[in-house]
Amino acid sequence: MTHKSSFLVSSSFYFLSLVIIAAHHATSLSSVVLNPSPRQARQENSVFLAEQNTEPPDYRYACLDQSGVAPSSKYQSNLKSLISSLSSDAATSNGFGNRTEGSDEKDMAYGLYLCRGDVNSSLCHSCVEDSSRLIQQHCPNNATAVLWYPFCLLRYSNQYFFGNLTLKPRIPMFDASQNFSSAGEFDSDARILMNGLIQTGSETNLMFGTHVFNINGTQKRYGWVQCSRDITSEECRTCLSNMLEDVVNCCEGKRVWRIFSPSCIVMYETQPFLVNGPGLIAPTSQQGEESSNRRKLLVIIVISGVVVLTLLVFCTIYFRFLRKKKDKLALQEDGLNPVFYQDQTDEENDMSADLPTMSLKTILETTRKFSDEYKLGQGGFGSVYKGVLPDGKEIAVKRLSKTSGQGLNEFKNEVILIAKLQHRNLVRLLACCIEQNEKLLVYEYMPNSSLDFHLFRIEKRSKLEWKLRISIINGIAKGLLYLHEDSRLRVIHRDLKASNILLDHEMNPKISDFGLAKVFGDNQRQANTIRVVGTYGYMAPEYAMEGLFSVKSDVFSFGVLLLEIISGKKNSGFYLSKHGQSLLIYAWRLWCKGKGLDLMDPILERSFEPSEVLKCIHIGLLCVQEDAADRPTMSSVVFMLASDSVNLPRPTQPAFSVGRGFKEKESSSNDTTHDSINGVTISEVEAR
């Protein structure tokens, strides 16, 4: 692609990004109608919100009129009695109450209050009293209304609603002054952590839960969830999960946010939830004319975006055609004719349609024709070489061996998988190449090599202090969680190990090597194979013995890796040391004796946090339990790692390991050494 065409496409991308950002901003500003008159609210059946109070506390309310007709005087009288009885009841209740007032069905009033699970009856009573006054002040002519005060919720209607899950209206609040510096932090932290809190909070008697999350060992977040007690636990989870989905639309990238609905509330903040905690910034009122202007601007932006997108698609197709034609001519000049494998199907020919290709000529130039001095390592499926592009960018090229066990299917699998996976803890695939009987993958270059290079060498391991190790553990866990639950595909890696964890220039971990990965359908939970492939010491017992694999197989591998990171020792071969047992059994016995810290790498003594180390050992032992059903999911693992006070279940004895009671028969998938970058082995274990 010429510099001119590259500049045009880049400019189109840049302008399109501005259009999308502007459209999102305009949409978010024009999506809320603030403080219309009661008459307008009745006519449009809309929600209106309170302005920011000049004095704390801050609150939100919604006046809803389902009938469009002003309530009768009898209903208003019943409503007044109802609100008074709810306020009185709050003084002696356990924080929740619902009542009905009236004898004639057409004039009956239904209401409830819900106080925060951590406030006493005195504060609950005071909150409901204040809410009663405010809701009548703001919604004097509405038959249905709901008000959210800092410590309680008050709701009434002329229609029976007890026990009905109500998700709307949804009222978001966020602190616009507390944005993340980089994208993606919400997806990888808040949603995962809050999902765990939703599961536990919805099961409590009060349907209420709070938690302190430890983010990367340096920052704390405070989560809070609560549901109205007239719905079931299952409906509570549904409500909270729906609120959490809304956060992606309104508050992604925000450190502080709250979402209110009539049946549940979700909050996520950087400060503890105090009785007189800080209020959040509320939207300011806008004039009708400004709203109209925004709508016009939004229409213009959308039309402009469509035009730019059309131009971008046309330019991309046209310049891709020119580039392929130019590459083909260049190869012919050098006597290299591009050819594909004869057994390749049409689908395989199209596998790089969504992924940039790099010519063999370019790769040969960047790697000095696969020179030994550019070789980074030898793996189970081939060699990895470093390359330097003309612009100075460094790359890593995986060259599939012609005699490798990874055929075209595995190669295609890795290309398609990684092209669709995007996460900061997964290695990024830049391009692929199938020419002259060569199958090549081009990755981003990881200057700090793999985790095993640092972890299992005494001179390198000394630099892995505890803070860095816990950061690596968290990163691996989040990357694996993305594969299992958060990506468009449910991916089972099947070969998670220290040598497949690469480290970037800041020592951030990135999971690599997806040659053995498998994709599951939406409803699929496990699968069988007669071809058991992987690395000995990391394979779950049900996979090694029966060929049965699932997300829990990866969880087992993660548990082994976690214990290796803590101890600085390899699981495979550990039984040959003076301990005479596997790393898993050794860790289990120390933990049972209350001597878990004896497992820790002695190098960590100057930097470790005892409670964190013991918690990680505990989590590791939970992950390597023999029964796959007993092992936690990766979402639970991430939640446990981030939590300072969660109660962990007691683990059972780890799964089988080769030791004095077993004999090992191991055959390599090729003749590579066991400490290679991508060494892949097939192992069988028999009882003596």
Which residues are annotated as part of the binding site for ATP? 398
117: left (phi over 0), alpha (psi -120 to 50) or beta: alpha
- 3-state secondary structure at position 502: strand
Please state whether beta strands 526-528 and 152-157 pair in parallel, antiparallel, or not at all (unpaired): unpaired
Which residues fall in the annotated binding site?
398
Query: Residue 382, SS3?
Result: strand
8 Å CB contact between 162 and 110: yes
Q: From residue 549, give the alpha-carbon distance in Å to each of 525, 630, 678.
A: 9, 15, 20
A 10 A CB-CB count for 14 gives: 10
Name residue 155's beta-bridge partners. Answer: 112, 146
Q: Give yes or no: 495 in active site.
A: yes
Say which residues have a Cβ less than 8 Å from residue 441's Cβ, sequence separation at least 6.
397, 398, 400, 411, 414, 415, 429, 431, 432
What six digits make up the tokens of 532?
């058991």
Please count the other Cβ atoms lying within 10 Å of the Cβ belonging to residue 134: 17
Enumerate residues 6+ apart whose C-beta is below 8 A from 343.
408
Q: C-alpha distances in angstroms, 259 versus 276, 392, 486, 514, 586?
A: 19, 47, 22, 38, 47
Catalytic residue among 130, 495, 513, 554: 495
**Beta-strand relationship, 109-115 and 144-149:** unpaired
CA distance 539 to 497: 10
Residue labelled with tokens 């209350």: 594
Report d(CA 156, CA 60) in Å as an integer. Answer: 15
Q: Based on the number of CB atoms within 10 Å of its own CB, is 93 exposed (0-12), middle (13-18) or buried (19 or more)?
A: middle
Residue 377's alpha-carbon distances to 380, 382, 622, in angstroms, are: 10, 9, 33
Which residues are known to be catalytic?
495
